[in-house]
Structure 1
Amino acid sequence: MGMLGDGLDKATEKTFTRPVPRSAQAQMRFLVKQEKGTRAVAALLGVSQRTVERYLAGRLKRPRKDLAARLENEVRRRWQPRVRERARQRAATTGGIVIETRARFGFTAAPGSTDDARLRLVTQALPPDYAARLFAAQSAGAGEDRLRAIAAEGLQEIYFQDRGRRAQGLRVDFTDIDYVEFEF
């Protein structure tokens, strides 16, 4: 996906109540149960059905690096969907979301104010409506630009304009993201 989409996924993974299966055999077993068959898992991972069966039987234990990465990624995407959904729902209705980022922020504001973009480290709690908008955009398949625009709007309103108490008419540009982390 992108930096913001991956950040939302990692924040969701922090809400898991049980650890993700570690061994290749346990991961394959989980995927076969989820996908209801070895043929579907083989197509998903890009390997033969026989290879999936060997991992299930324990004859193969250590997948190649590329297969191990695909296997872990697919298991993480499907792990504890109800826990994941509950955490997102809680963040979108009552809890909100905390964003920590180091990025370049530039401004469009009234004449006489500085609008030079500079690198800032910002940690800010955003209200639930911004969390809901981020999750809705992500689940609708929105691109990185749309997620960035929603996050910029939230930071603009809450951090830079202090909920409308200062800097009316300020528009924030959120670019050159060094890193971004979310927490619910």
Structure 2
Amino acid sequence: MNFFRHRHTASPGLPVLAALIAIAGCSSADDSASVAVPVPDAKVTKLCQNLDKVLPRSVDGRRREDPEPRSALTAGWGSPAIILRCGVQRPVKMSDPKVANGDDPKAVAGGVNGVDWLMERQGDGTTRLTTASRLAYVQVTVPEGTDATGALVDLAASVKKAIPEGIAD
């Protein structure tokens, strides 16, 4: 069963996603702004390069400051940084029936401005959000104590423009 096809009828939706984002964690992300660069196939790499070209200069009021190593597959904003990685692997939680049923307190699915996301609270206090129903997975990590809603709103238009809807796997 495809989780996100089922999710449209079983998801708790934006109110629960917004609530979980608001209460997620309380520490900061790694200030070093260094990230692992994904290694997707050529088709996904092209989509990610297109995304990089249309990303906003600021996200949630933070100026773009890309992490090291520099890559068209990664981007960052502010310090502690909001980090975007394009071309990541499908998160295991996307296939978890507990998430689809709203029974996992650390993961929830919902949509923001036409882009579906899986939100997962991480052990280090950050919040990791991964696009769903797109031909490439885009992952956004938000520092603990930061409301991810602003970042998702600011990134939605770019994701919609560069990463077509569909199933990535």
TM-score tier, shorter chain, comes to: under 0.3
TM-score in terms of structure 1 length: 0.25
TM-score in terms of structure 2 length: 0.26
